[in-house]
Structure 1
Amino acid sequence: MNLLPTATSTDVEDRQPRVAVLPVGSFEQHGRYLPLITDTAIACIIGQEVADAYPVHLLPPITMSCSHEHAAFPGTVSISAKTLFAVIDDIRASLARSGISKLVIINGHGGNYVLSNIVQEANVDGPAVSLFPLSADWDRARDNASLDSDRHADMHAGEIETSILLHAAPELVRDGNANADHDGGPRPFLLVQGMRAYTTSGVIGFPSFATAGKGKAVLASLTGSFADHLEALGTND
């Protein structure tokens, strides 16, 4: 699996895309069977699927973000919300100078709450930035792929993430997902107490349900849902 786009400057000039797509991942624990780059890999996989289906400019990923709730697990690295905001703001400004005024942020990590604020502020003067996938996009994908778990129970390193990687990057999935299921229950103080308060393994979800077929169906659903975001930005013609 190649996480980086390989387009040349000439490719972009010829295509003249109106929308850029920016994958945002994380570098955080995902149990013993998925790598620290899981969220980045998934954001890039979704980005590539979207770029294959729509005339967008796929950017390389932001690989570290706001994973502070995972800090108790070895290997996790975070940056501050203000840093993530500033980096994306700079990227937007650079894109605008090159003639691309619309951006879709593909978020692979649920803890990147600041991305919603970026979208909120960017669109004051009209649609310019969208955040994808939204909760509704994920829920539709779960339904379309006939996943056994729901979004709350399958929060982290579970059925949906493992399925996507089994389909698109099986080399990243190590042995162990078949017996790693963990129900974290209600998690009202996750951001106060961190993931360790709800899981010792780092897993909250049901990776034993994962299959490559489900991952393929999830990605197909998300690719279809992306059209709604282009329409919202006014660039679906």
Structure 2
Amino acid sequence: VTDVAESLRRSGVDQLVVVNGHGGNYVLSNTVQEANSESRRMALYPGREDWETARQQAGLVSSGHDDMHAGEIETSLLLHLCPDLVRDGFQDADHVAERPDLLVLGMRGYTSTGVIGSPSQATAAKGKAVLESLTDSFAGTLAVLRNGRRS
């Protein structure tokens, strides 16, 4: 990411948003923070706050901790955007697990199905509300890059 950002900067692109589609990419936060300490203009989106705001605005009932993978938020997004990708039986697939050794054991240490969360709580309406919230907060992220503050 740093190499790509540097190449873009040399080509005249002095602001960059890294769009993170995976919650487990913790290293990206450090990469963006280090880049900004060197006077580059880089943002990471969506951030934890963006997801939490989207959860609240969509009326999700599960927490970000409990709803880790294929749970309420991800299934809601899929029900809204690509309902044909959601398998039958998601309503009965809830699986919540504490994961103290996730980085050592990986997902397979805690779930055989890939679900850690509550897909039974998912709806297309919640997915639409999550996406609308994320769209709004993305505009705020762009404003910070352009103006140094949210508009």
TM-score by length of 2: 0.89
CA contact (8 A) 1:127 1:232 kept: no
Distance 1:131 1:191 in 2: 22
Distance 1:107 1:178 in 2: 27
Structure 1 position 213 matched with structure 2 position 125: yes
Identity of aligned residues (%): 60
Counterpart residue number, 1:155: 68
Query: Which among 156, 163, 169 is matched to residue 82 of structure 2?
Result: 169
Distance 1:90 1:171 in 2: 37
Alignment of 1:43-192 (within 5 A): 88-126=1-39, 128-184=41-97, 186-192=98-104
Cα distance, 1:223 vs structure 2: 1.1
Unaligned runs of 5+ in 2: none
TM-score by length of 1: 0.58
Give 3-state SS (helix, strand or coil) of 1:103's partner. strand
Distance 1:125 1:89 in 2: 12
- Read off the aligned partner of 2:26 and give its amino acid letter: Y
Of Structure 1 and Structure 2, the greater helix share is in: 2
Cα distance, 1:197 vs structure 2: 2.2
- The structure showing larger relative contact order (alpha-carbon pairs under 8 Å, at least 6 residues apart) is 2
Cα distance, 1:208 vs structure 2: 1.1
Unaligned runs of 5+ in 1: 1-87
CA contact (8 A) 1:127 1:234 kept: no
CA contact (8 A) 1:158 1:206 kept: yes
Counterpart residue number, 2:105: 193
Cα displacement string for residues 94-134 of structure 1 (whole angstroms, at most 9, x for unaligned residues):
32244221111111111111111210221013351111111
CA contact (8 A) 1:195 1:202 kept: yes
Alignment of 1:212-231 (within 5 A): 212-231=124-143
Give 3-state SS (helix, strand or coil) of 1:123's partner. helix
Q: How many residues align?
A: 149
